[in-house]
């Protein structure tokens, strides 16, 4: 599944224009705890979170996240978006809940990557 397909399935808004949306995204990880992201995420995953702050971007860059999906219609401020763009990190906002976002995306992934 590509990031473009994920964005479409979530009716998401790309907050970092100019980034590549045609990248393959074979893994998901959902958490609001950045300590769990640091400890458990697999590199190359898409992070789904309800947090919309600079810690999400910095942690995502550190662990090689492919993209960040921010749920419940939350939008980070412009400094966070600028930092994501500087690091070529796609950030998408969706009105979906975390549960709904995970459900919509996971049905397209092979079971071993969920």
- pLDDT of 110 reads 67
Q: Which CATH architecture has domain 3-113?
A: 3-Layer(aba) Sandwich (3.40)
Phi-psi region of 67 (alpha: psi -120 to 50; beta: other; left: phi over 0): beta
What confidence tens digit (pLDDT) does each residue in 34-82 have?
999 999 999 999 999 999 999 999 999 999 999 999 999 999 999 999 9
**SS percent in the chain: helix, strand, coil, step 5:** 40, 15, 45
Is the pTM above the cut of 0.75? yes
């Amino acid at each position: 599944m590509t990031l473009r397909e994920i964005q479409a399935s979530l009716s998401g808004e790309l907050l970092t224009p100019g980034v590549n949306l045609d990248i393959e995204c074979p893994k998901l990880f959902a958490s609001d705890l950045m300590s769990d992201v640091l400890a458990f995420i697999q590199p190359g995953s898409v992070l789904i979170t309800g947090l919309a702050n600079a810690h999400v971007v910095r942690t995502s860059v550190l662990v090689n996240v492919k993209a960040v999906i921010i749920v419940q219609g939350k939008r980070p401020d412009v400094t966070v978006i600028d930092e994501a763009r500087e690091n070529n990190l796609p950030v998408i906002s969706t009105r979906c809940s975390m549960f709904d976002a995970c459900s919509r995306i996971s049905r397209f992934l092979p079971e071993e990557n969920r």
